[in-house]
Chains A and B, each alone.
Chain A
């Protein structure tokens, strides 16, 4: 699995972008999006998913269940 950003709730504040250890977050059409291929759910880097911890709108960075759970190498 990976995290995804619910774009209708994203305020485009950009707080998540520099916090992502995988550089998986970028701006697209006025909101921010997560590249699921790069997202590791912060496993191996931090105890908490950084985008979730810094996002000012609760329940905006959420697990995208359409991707399999990330497995640390």
Chain B
């Protein structure tokens, strides 16, 4: 294993490469990974070149790089029980929801406007609000325009896979090197409870037959992507009681066909969304149920845990949404100067910051190497990005969750704590909501926190920590953990299992 007294230059270089590429959510034993535990030798140089600045494919990159989606693809060719695209609350964030649809020309202008304003925006994705490949003309026209005007921006798309085998060649021709397929089952018996119908060869096909066709097309499409050398991420929606245990089987099936990354997401389900699952009371998983399933699949392949299940018109870092700054009306008024050199210069600074962060964490970890304990804790972090603890407790719309043990730190997810769109959740109710969302954490790291919430957090058994304000997250987490172990040894504290936490289900207010 690397990082343990390995001094060979090649090994050292591999480690630097692995860290630099930004996949290292897990620093266990110095191993690099993409939100996971795959060894660096699994990652060919051309692969990490593709993922290192992609916020969705690399957990570490998502602290630094931004993405945007353009909503040029409204039509869909299947119906899912968790999706309803009619409902558009502008303050809501979930897949399939957009505020305005764009033509390819508007989308191209928008991309240039965003790329000039946010130089760390490196990725343009088409994710709907329907299925990009059910709108092939609009999708590929958009790619064509952007690849001409902004050649440094990576293109990607997200599909249900039904039409995928028909378009792999075109995807390849446009140099799209990241494709996401949403695969919720590999068994039609399971699929019939998720997909009421598909539109296939001019017919609406329902039931088991629909799920059988869909899974065949998804597997064929994935195999074709792998053969074409296109990186594939698989998204799966975890639906308790329907496909939760089955997703382990899905994980094996997609890994064996060459998928690069698996992203298991919690079902978002509330009656006001008007989805079948929302209306029939189907619940989503708890935070610990989700984590347990992700942990079970992790031995098999890279797991993504930093997905924010964003809107099909999202703009910005994954944890933020700046789409309101870039409405069609506003971008049409903007005088856009696309300066590729300026973007490159900015990204170089970002790279330096990244490497500094990794070095700081590794230095901190060296001391921990001598110790062994099976104690692991979760810490919640208030951050605005750049991998630092730089957000006020009361301003945080989400907390990032890190697991720390003697083997190192691991990003294991995030919890949204923004206020609910529907009434009834005033200021006085905000704190219990936050506590429920981070209830499984031993501590919360913040840049600043008021006296009142501090006391309430302590009463709930969560340690509010301000002393690492503006420092690197992972380095601080390791420091905190060392102290924590020391306190256990001295008998000052007793390590207890913190239990479970809630995953926020409702719509939120972005402001």
Contact = CB atoms under 8 A, between A and B. Distances in A.
Interface of A: 11-15, 18-19, 46-48, 50, 52-54, 56-57
Given A56-B79, A56-B85, A12 B74 contact: yes
Interface of B: 74-77, 79, 85-86, 101, 129-130, 134-135, 199, 202-204
Chain A to chain B: the 10 pairs with minimum beta-carbon distance, closest first: A15-B75, A53-B204, A13-B74, A54-B199, A11-B86, A46-B202, A14-B75, A13-B75, A14-B74, A13-B130
Nearest to B79: A56
Contacts of A46: 202-203
18 contacts: A11-B74, A13-B75, A13-B76, A14-B74, A14-B75, A15-B74, A15-B76, A15-B130, A15-B199, A46-B203, A48-B203, A48-B204, A50-B202, A53-B204, A54-B199, A54-B204, A56-B85, A56-B86
A12 B101 contact: yes
Contacts of A53: 199, 202-204
Contacts of A57: 86
A30 to B, nearest CB: 10
Nearest to A45: B202
A9 to B, nearest CB: 8
Contacts of A48: 202-204
Contacts of A13: 74-76, 85, 129-130
A62 B329 CA distance: 35
A53 B76 CA distance: 12
Contacts of B76: 13, 15, 56
A11 B79 CA distance: 14
Nearest to B83: A56
Contacts, number: 45
A42 to B, nearest CB: 9
A14 B135 contact: yes
Contacts of B204: 48, 52-54
A54 B203 CA distance: 8
A19 B74 CA distance: 14
B87 to A, nearest CB: 9
Which of A12, A19, A52, A54 has the most C-beta atoms of chain B within 10 angstroms of its own C-beta?
A: A54
A50 B202 CA distance: 7
B59 to A, nearest CB: 33
A50 B85 CA distance: 20
B203 A47 contact: yes
Contacts of A47: 202-203
A48 B85 CA distance: 24
A19 to B, nearest CB: 8
Contacts of B101: 12
Nearest to B86: A11
A12 B199 CA distance: 17
A54 B101 CA distance: 19
Nearest to A13: B74
Contacts of B86: 11, 56-57
Contacts of B74: 11-15
A56 B381 CA distance: 40
Contacts of B202: 19, 46-48, 50, 53
A49 to B, nearest CB: 10
A56 B197 CA distance: 10
Nearest to A9: B86
Which of A19, A47, A48, A56 has the most C-beta atoms of chain B within 10 angstroms of its own C-beta?
A: A56
A57 B130 CA distance: 13
A11 B71 CA distance: 14
B77 A54 contact: yes
A29 to B, nearest CB: 14
Contacts of A11: 74, 85-86
A6 B272 CA distance: 22
Nearest to A16: B75
B81 to A, nearest CB: 12
Nearest to B136: A18
A55 to B, nearest CB: 9
A13 B135 CA distance: 10
A15 B79 contact: no
Contacts of A14: 74-75, 135
Contacts of B79: 56
Contacts of B135: 14
